[in-house]
Amino acid sequence: MILKVAKLGVPTLRSKSREVDPRAVARGDYEAFLADLEDTMREYEGTGIAAPQVFTPLRILLYEVNPETRQRKEKEVPLTAFFNAAYEGVGERTEEDSEGCLSVPFLWGGIVPRFQTIRVRALDRSGKPVQFEASGYHARVLQHEIDHLDGLVYLDRMKDMKSLAYTVRFG
């Protein structure tokens, strides 16, 4: 089922999301919700989506890195769900690139500085703890989605708004 996407100004997007119970994840209690998140992400051609973007203040995200559809030379990451995710930068190196967001329709191209490499801690789809490092575009996608879990949107990370442009994409 395609869910309604929360747009900038909705309180859920600006609030820190609640952690989910690892036992509920292990039991598969969120599988139907994940299927709806996937349907919604695909309908709007997103790379990722976080629960707050569909009016659900829980620390759940879904994403994939598909180099073919995004025209990027990156390692493919299959459709992946994480629960209670958090990240920290590895080192001080950052890189700037443009971003857009399903919750910020009609704006694209915001130049956002992000850590080049991050360490992620989360629960996987079976409720087991995982920890790994991600770099490049993979790290950017994860930072963007985890920021949603903390009540942030990419506009909050921008140093300068001049790179934003109107687009029908994400609208």
Q: How far apart are CA 46 and CA 40, in angstroms?
A: 8
Q: How far apart are CA 103 and CA 91, in angstroms?
A: 30
Closest CA to 111 of 162, 59, 60: 162
Q: Which residue is catalytic, options 74, 95, 133, 145?
A: 145
Which residues are within 8 A (CB) of 60 and not within 5 positions of it... i.e. 6 or more apart? Answer: 17, 20, 30, 33, 34, 37, 50, 51, 81, 82, 83
Q: What tokens appear for 37 in the block?
A: 């998140």
96 counts as catalytic: no
Q: How far apart are CA 29 and CA 67, in angstroms?
A: 31
- CA 161 to each of CA 1, 6, 155, 171: distance values in angstroms, whole numbers, following the listed order: 35, 22, 8, 19
Catalytic amino acids?
145
